[in-house]
Amino acid sequence: MNPTLIILLLALLTEGAFPDSGTKPETRPGPDAPPSNTEKQSKKPGSKEKSSLSKSKNKPVKESSKKAGGKEKSSTPYETRSSAESKTSGDGRARQNKKSAPPEDVESDPPEDAESAPSIQETVVTARPSPGKDHTAAVTSVKGSNIRRSTRTSTIEALSQESAGIYVPGRGVGFHGVAGGASGAIHIRGLGGSPNSQVLVVENGVPDAQGIFGHPIPDAYVPFLIDEVRVVMGGDSVLYGSNAVGGVIIIRDRWRTTRGWELNNETAFGSYNTIKETVSFLGRWKSFDLAAAFHARKSDGHRDGAGGANKVANLTVRWRINPKLNLTLRNKAIHLSGTDPGPITHPNDDHWYDVLRDNFYLKLDWDKEWFQLHVVSFANIGIHRLYDGFFSLDTTAGGFGEWKVKVLDNLRFLLGVGTEWLNGHVENRIQNEVFPVETFGNVSSYGQIDYRPHSSVHLVAGGRLMYNTKFGGVIMAKAGATWEPWRGFFLRSRFTRNFRQPTLRELYLPFPTANPDLQPEISHNWDFSVTWEHKKLKLSATTYYSSVKNLIKYFGAWPSAEVVNIDKVEVFGVEGLAQLKNLGPLGFKITGNWQDVGRYTKQNPDAKINFQMDARHRHKNHSFLGTVSGEWVHGLYMNNYKRDPLPNVFFIDMSLRYRYRYASGSSLEPYIVLRNILDNRYAYIEGYLMPGFNIMAGIKTTL
């Protein structure tokens, strides 16, 4: 099929203006805590930026509008640029903010039904001050609604589609599994990979480094409740601790913002007997909020042995003790089962895996005018079983307290203390062999200063001191700045010193060997961005350099392998963004990345381009959305030293959505996703050929 034809078809289909076709400025608060007062006002109900679809969501909007007349405060130089911009038409200039959020509306998240935000993202690694704890960080921000609507099959693949600096090898309609190979490996600016231990996932403020192998499991992050995912490029161990070397993926779930309840259901069926069912329920009554969700997906896979299933259940309850004090309790359970099909030339026979995990946290948030206090305790337990007799039970437990205080209008401090402990039991049940594992943990204190000497300048500096029971003390540091010398023209730069502690596997487990004397990896990351924004055009370029010392590296093979701290990775790269917005019903975005990763070329490509085009149309209660997106990956190798090159990856996906909204506010949204419409034969990993043209169709219901 000719892609040009598809684009023309889409354009014809969506002929006519669509009120919210422009991109919506970033208005999200930090993901790790309830939004600050500064942030709250940016989502003030009745904002001029409110999309037409949001307006038509009668119940919540009306209710919110009634509360829009709360107390007001004058803005300060400290107000984040992003929040200020939420009231503008996108030219990036707004100096006056009014705080009006009433206590009821402490959360900003829109109801599910208001998922009318454009698919093309506003915030993708630009020089503009980023929302979140560190306003000088390079951030890719993706709305949960965009992840749910992505043509890609997993959350982390959807992130890869949004930014060229994130590279995730796909697995077709199947599952990434335990990421023992390369599928699901997350590379951020050349760091990370398989296992994903150089990338940290933080879910609702809680780090999700999982026990034995010390890395996240890609299939565990399903987007049913996600409000926003923010990827901090260049890492940030000062704020997030170990593993935040290449980057931090910060996932924040949504809450209902107004009294009442909402029920969302999505059922989909597609090629290879793929069935997906997702149901989520959000409620808000008196002093309590509830967010519950269940997700199940099953697929036969596009070839023998590529199938599997995952089930994820989530229950979060928040008690609003008073308008400033919240207590949140959350439990998330995951069951993942599947098989590694092996390369198509030599398929595996029944190489199955089975993973059961449970995450729990209890969080207290105290949000006063001049300070915020967050106290979190968490536990993460997992049972992993493999076809070869491997069995592991791992536990990660910890907690932290974080205090943010506004000393002056333009000066803020963040102080924190944290601890984390890891333990595990590993055995091979076929060989009746138990592998001893020693518990280890750490305590750390950290701080950050955030200073705005001038309305156009933002400076951030911070440090963390960590003591680990295994390898002693480690010092982390960072410093960054943003500057807007002219209207719409931004410069930013940041330096971070990050670390990754060795995993239990690397320290104790003979897979294929271990070394209990390993020390943490230390990285130094630096980047510099230039961004120019105009009403209809946005251009951004970033250059970055990372160096990881004390690299934990395996040499040789069983039975004479060794793992030692030696060598360093050096990565230099540039990435860019071009975005056209406010072009009637159309939107277009392209991101590109080129990097030199030295000899560490294994599954770490030289270049990547992602593009996306959106077209929208709305007529009364009917709305249509069509997207065409694609990815091109160049310079893929199966091994280091540029050995075993692979052909370029290139594919185009397409989706068509129609939504009908009833007068009651409920809606129905049937959709169809067409993947790899050119039926290209491509592979991210040698021998793991991706599926050809395939389809997924479903219907979303919102009550």
Residue ranges binding another protein (CB under 8 A):
269-273, 302-306, 341, 344-349, 453-454, 456-457, 479, 481, 483, 485, 491, 493-495, 524-526, 528, 545-547, 549, 553, 555-560, 562, 566-568, 599, 640-641, 643, 658, 660, 668, 670, 672, 681, 689, 691-697, 699
- Kindly report whether the peptide bond that precedes residue 110 is cis, defined as omega within 30 degrees of 0: no
Q: What's the closest the beta carbon of residue 193 comes to another protein, in angstroms?
A: 17
Residue 248 or 306 having the CB closest to another protein: 306
Tokens of 660: 């009908």
Long-range contacts of 689-695 (CB under 8 A, 24+ apart): 689/303, 689/344, 690/170, 690/172, 690/302, 690/651, 691/172, 691/173, 691/271, 691/272, 691/302, 692/302, 694/172, 694/173, 694/270, 694/271, 694/272, 694/302, 695/270, 695/271
Shortest Å, Cβ 567 to another protein: 4
Pairing of strands 694-702, 260-270: antiparallel
306 with 313: CB under 8 angstroms? no
Which helix (H) or strand (E) covers residue 5, if one does? Answer: helix 3-13
Nearest alpha-carbon partner for 423 in 518, 507, 336, 522: 507
Q: From the CB of 381, what's the least distance to another protein, in Å?
A: 35
CA distance 212 to 93: 48
Closer Cβ to another protein, 221 or 651, answer by number: 651
Instruction: Name which of 362 and 699 has its Cβ closer to another protein.
Output: 699
Nearer to another protein, 452 or 608 (CB): 452
63 vs 304, beta carbon nearer another protein:
304
Per DSSP, the three-state class of 598 is coil
471 versus 572: smaller Cβ distance to another protein: 572
Nearer to another protein, 48 or 346 (CB): 346
Question: Smallest gap, in angstroms, from Cβ of residue 441 to another protein?
Answer: 30
Nearest distance, CB of residue 403 and another protein, angstroms: 27
Least spacing, CB of residue 545 vs another protein, in Å: 5
Rounded-to-integer distance, Cα 166 and Cα 188, Å? 5
Task: Tell the residue number behind the tokens 């000062």, with chain if given.
Answer: 238
Decide whether 143 or 452 has the Cβ nearer to another protein: 452
Cβ-count burial 537-550 (b if 16+ within 10 Å, e if not): ebebbbebbbbbbb
d(CA 316, CA 366): 18
Shortest approach of another protein to residue 341 CB, angstroms? 7
Q: Give the nearest distance from C-beta 690 to another protein in angstroms.
A: 10
Q: Reduce the DSSP state of residue 156 to 3 states and report it.
A: helix
Instruction: With beta carbons less than 8 A apart as the criterion, state whether 336 and 175 touch.
Output: yes
- Closest-CA residue to 277 (of 224, 338, 314, 334): 224
Which of residues 197 and 523 has its CB atom nearest to another protein in the complex? Answer: 523
Beta carbon of residue 76, minimum distance to another protein (angstroms, whole number): 19
Helix (H, G, I), strand (E, B) or coil at 688: strand
